[in-house]
Chains A and B, each alone.
Chain A
């Protein structure tokens, strides 16, 4: 029973580089969420999709961040250009509806040097 799958697990790159994080939600889940977690700010919702359509992107910090969901089984979160303050753990989660429990992937640990 496959859960939410994220890749890569770890990413270390230099500032200014483009970073692409990937997520495959649980099959049948209509909602997909991208979160960022840091010690200072906790778990922050960046954006979420319903049936591949972005519903709320108010948490996306700035124009350097973009997210897409071209089909029901794949989503990307892109940072371009990356900055050291983007260093965090990025989680993807999916659920049947926003009021039902979300299932999280293992996360991507991103370090921008």
Chain B
């Protein structure tokens, strides 16, 4: 099983709809989780951290399911500007902690 896995998409979603995607991770000891957003030909930017109890930032909700080892990102009332690639990020604890980026899920919001 890969350390971090995401559905590459693309997800083609009409404007205003709700969309959700998951990211699975293999190391049960992982403690830190993030969602990043990457626009075409730009650098990845932190979208939000993912907390154990789940957290919300405006139209975005992130959740963690430790039992099934996945995190999720839900986007409500999607906007054209939400079109981007969403990268899941998970820490791999060890003597030297590592952060692993998923390959990303592409999202296209359709007018």
A, B in one complex: yes
Report A's interface with B, CB cutoff 8 A: 33, 35, 42-43, 45, 55-56, 91, 97-107
Question: B43, B97, B98: which contacts A106 (Cβ < 8 A)?
Answer: B43
Given A43-B44, A91-B43, A104-B43: A99 and B101 within 8 A (CB)? no
Q: Are A104 and B91 in contact (CB under 8 A)?
A: no
Contacts of B96 in A (CB 8 A): 55-56, 98
Q: Are B97 and A98 in contact (CB under 8 A)?
A: yes
Q: Are B44 and A45 in contact (CB under 8 A)?
A: no
Contacts of A42 in B (CB 8 A): 101-104
Question: B44, B91, B104: which contacts A99 (Cβ < 8 A)?
Answer: B91
Q: Is the C-beta of B99 less than 8 angstroms from some C-beta in chain A?
A: yes
Chain B, residues 85-111, CB within 8 Å of chain A (1/0): the string is 001000100001111111110000000
Q: Is the C-beta of B80 less than 8 angstroms from some C-beta in chain A?
A: no
Report B's interface with A, CB cutoff 8 A: 31-32, 34, 42-46, 49, 87, 91, 96-104
Contacts of B99 in A (CB 8 A): 33, 45, 98-99, 102
Q: How far is the CB of B38 from chain A (nearest CB, A)?
A: 8
Question: B32, B87, B98: which contacts A43 (Cβ < 8 A)?
Answer: B87
Contacts of B46 in A (CB 8 A): 101-103
Q: How far is the CB of A87 from chain B (nearest CB, A)?
A: 14
A106 to B34, CA, bound (A): 20
Contacts of A55 in B (CB 8 A): 96
Contacts of B104 in A (CB 8 A): 42-43
Q: How far is the CB of B90 from chain A (nearest CB, A)?
A: 10
Q: Are A105 and B43 in contact (CB under 8 A)?
A: yes
Contacts of B45 in A (CB 8 A): 104
Given A42-B103, A43-B101, A56-B98: A99 and B43 within 8 A (CB)? no
